């Protein structure tokens, strides 16, 4: 406890910063809070954090924005979530976040050299940065989950996923029985039901580019995607989609239509995707409009 207090005191001990409006800590971290709960519980190493974040290179006339999570986050939510790691250098971004409580917002100025070479472990500075550059990082700390909370959430998620896994086959069996579907599955588990014969005898190859219309639903009838609703067919290389589609469209010829029943093992598996939950069997009504040789990979 004494060591932790000493480290915290060292971190927040202040010096005058050369950047207007900022304060400089003993570790060399420049900081400026916009909103701050000084008595709030601070983030610590190993916590799960959720943030909005903007990175910008400091420039004399106008800072150059490199990344804004509200425009570039992986899931489209604008939120970045990760486990807060050990500080990668003195005056690091990780140190900055440990100064914050939930709902705090602040800007920090750190060494760009150290951020790229130590935090991101790059072997050289990127072409847009030069030695001595500073990086301004603006953060809104949306949430903090302690290690204990993360462990409890993990156990809960694992139990829910196990339950979904166990329920997939009974749900599929019931769907097949209720709809009197007797078509045998392929070795992968795909059930292919032709609803309209196509023209010609040629079938797409795994590397071909196909043009298709499709509507996708869950077993309960919930629609999650449809090219028909968008009013234009989808075009994609056949080897860059879920395995169930890669297999199914090779069974089709131009103009043919089919119903596909695709178990999660050849769809989105235990992760799911967007509106598709983990271990979800998918139903597709598909039409192969055209296909051609794909571009060189």
- pLDDT, mean over the chain: 90
Q: Taking 50 as the threshold, does the pLDDT of residue 79 lie above it?
A: yes
Q: Is 55 a catalytic residue?
A: no
Q: Is 225 a catalytic residue?
A: yes
Same structural domain for residues 250 and 119? no
Q: Is residue 297 part of a domain?
A: no
Name the more confident of 104 and 60.
104
Closest of 200, 199, 294 to residue 246, by C-alpha: 294
Q: Is residue 155 part of a domain?
A: no
Please tell me which residue in 108, 116, 268, 291 is annotated as part of the active site: 268
Same structural domain for residues 270 and 167? yes
Please tell me which residue in 33, 68, 143, 242 is annotated as part of the active site: 242
Closest of 212, 202, 224, 198 to residue 280, by C-alpha: 224
Q: Is 113 a catalytic residue?
A: no
Among 108, 125, 148, the domain-final residue is 148
pLDDT at residue number 234: 95
Same structural domain for residues 138 and 205? no
Q: How confident is the model at residue 296 (pLDDT cuts 50, 70, 90)?
A: low
Q: How confident is the model at residue 124 (pLDDT cuts 50, 70, 90)?
A: very high
Non-local (6+) Cβ contacts of 2 within 8 A are none
Please tell me which residue in 31, 249, 284, 291 is annotated as part of the active site: 284
What digits encode the pLDDT tens for the residues 16-46? 888 999 999 999 999 999 999 989 999 999 9
Same structural domain for residues 132 and 14? yes
Among 95, 122, 148, the domain-final residue is 148
Give strand pairing partners of 82. Answer: 49
DSSP secondary structure code for residue 119 in this structure: I
Number of separate domains in the chain? 2
Strands (E), the chain: 14-16, 23-25, 30-35, 48-57, 64-68, 80-83, 105-111, 134-145, 191-196, 209-218, 223-226, 234-237, 257-262, 282-292
Same structural domain for residues 219 and 268? yes
**CA–CA distance, 236 with 251 (Å, rounded to integer):** 17
DSSP secondary structure code for residue 296 in this structure: P
Show the domain range for 285: 163-292
Closest of 294, 278, 191 to residue 235, by C-alpha: 294
pLDDT at residue number 11: 45
Same structural domain for residues 184 and 219? yes
pLDDT at residue number 167: 87
At 162, which helix (H) or strand (E)? helix 147-178
Q: Give the whole-number percent of the chain exceeding pLDDT 90.
A: 73
Q: Within 10 A of 110 (CB to CB), how many other CB atoms are there?
A: 25
Tell me what the mean pLDDT of segment 192-217 comes to. 94
Q: Taking 90 as the threshold, does the pLDDT of residue 115 lie above it?
A: yes
pLDDT at residue number 140: 96
Same structural domain for residues 139 and 50? yes
Same structural domain for residues 14 and 86? yes
Tell me what the mean pLDDT of segment 239-263 comes to. 95
Q: Is residue 129 part of a domain?
A: yes
Please tell me which residue in 116, 214, 279, 291 is annotated as part of the active site: 214
Same structural domain for residues 50 and 112? yes
Tell me what the mean pLDDT of segment 191-216 comes to. 94
Same structural domain for residues 209 and 241? yes
Q: Is 284 a catalytic residue?
A: yes
What digits encode the pLDDT tens for the residues 82-91? 999 999 999 9
Please tell me which residue in 224, 236, 289, 290 is annotated as part of the active site: 224
Which stretches of 32-146 are DSSP H helices?
69-72, 93-98, 112-114
Q: How confident is the model at residue 123 (pLDDT cuts 50, 70, 90)?
A: very high
Q: Is 224 a catalytic residue?
A: yes
CATH number at residue 11: 3.10.50.40
Among 87, 119, 148, the domain-final residue is 148
Q: Is residue 156 part of a domain?
A: no
Q: Is residue 154 part of a domain?
A: no
Same structural domain for residues 223 and 280? yes
Please tell me which residue in 113, 225, 236, 289 is annotated as part of the active site: 225
Q: Is 173 a catalytic residue?
A: no
Give strand pairing partners of 290. Answer: 211
Same structural domain for residues 221 and 195? yes
């Amino acid at each position: 406890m004494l060591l932790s207090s000493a480290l915290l005191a060292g971190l927040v001990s202040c010096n005058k910063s050369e950047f207007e409006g900022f304060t400089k800590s003993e570790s060399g971290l420049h900081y400026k809070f916009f909103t701050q709960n000084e008595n709030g519980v601070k983030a610590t190493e190993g916590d799960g954090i959720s943030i909005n974040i903007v990175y910008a290179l400091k420039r004399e006339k106008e800072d150059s924005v490199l990344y804004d999570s509200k425009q570039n986050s992986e899931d489209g939510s604008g939120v970045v979530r990760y486990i807060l790691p050990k500080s990668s250098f003195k005056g690091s971004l990780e140190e900055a976040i440990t100064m914050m409580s939930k709902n705090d917002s602040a800007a920090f100025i750190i060494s760009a050299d150290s951020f790229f070479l130590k935090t991101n472990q790059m072997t050289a500075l990127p072409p847009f940065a030069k030695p001595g550059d500073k990086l301004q990082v603006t953060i809104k700390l949306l949430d903090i989950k302690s290690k204990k909370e993360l462990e409890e959430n993990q156990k809960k998620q694992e139990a829910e996923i196990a339950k979904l896994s166990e329920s997939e086959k009974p749900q599929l069996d019931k769907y097949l029985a209720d709809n009197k579907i007797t078509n045998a599955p392929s070795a992968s588990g795909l059930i292919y039901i032709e609803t309209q014969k196509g023209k010609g005898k040629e079938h797409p190859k795994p590397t071909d580019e196909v043009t298709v219309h499709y509507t996708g639903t869950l077993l309960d009838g919930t629609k999650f995607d449809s090219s028909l609703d968008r009013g234009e067919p989808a075009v994609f290389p056949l080897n860059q989609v879920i395995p169930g589609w890669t297999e199914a469209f090779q069974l089709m010829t131009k103009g043919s239509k089919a119903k596909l029943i695709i178990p999660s093992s050849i769809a989105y598996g235990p992760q799911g995707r967007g509106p598709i939950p983990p271990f979800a069997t998918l139903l597709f009504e598909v039409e192969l409009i055209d296909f051609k040789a794909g571009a060189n990979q």
